[in-house]
Amino acid sequence: MTIIKQAFSIEEFCTAYSVGRSLAYEEMSEGRLQYRKVGRRVVIRKVDADRWLDDLPVGDTVKFSKATAA
């Protein structure tokens, strides 16, 4: 039986979504990343983290240059 996390601590969110703590706190303070308080702890529900990720702007097409052989 696999247990799927439904909420993350700040540290867990940053690790799972490959972002830094300052970006996470900035996104929360700007209201783009929803969070909950459990006592003094901040938790981010997985659905809110996924919504935040889905709401990020889509990047332009990335152009890769071919590496030249030496």
Specify the higher pLDDT residue, 65 or 31. 31
Q: What is the pLDDT of residue 19?
A: 97
Listing DSSP states for the chain in one string gives -PPPPSEE-HHHHHHHHT--HHHHHHHHHTTSS--EEETTEEEEEHHHHHHHHHHSPPPPPPP-PPPPP-
**pLDDT at 14 (0 to 100):** 98
pLDDT digits (tens, 9 = 90+) for 50-69: 999 999 988 776 676 676 55
Confidence class for position 44, pLDDT limits 50, 70, 90: very high
Go through the domains of the chain in sequence order and give each one's CATH number: 7-55 (1.10.10)
For the entire predicted model, the pTM comes to 0.77
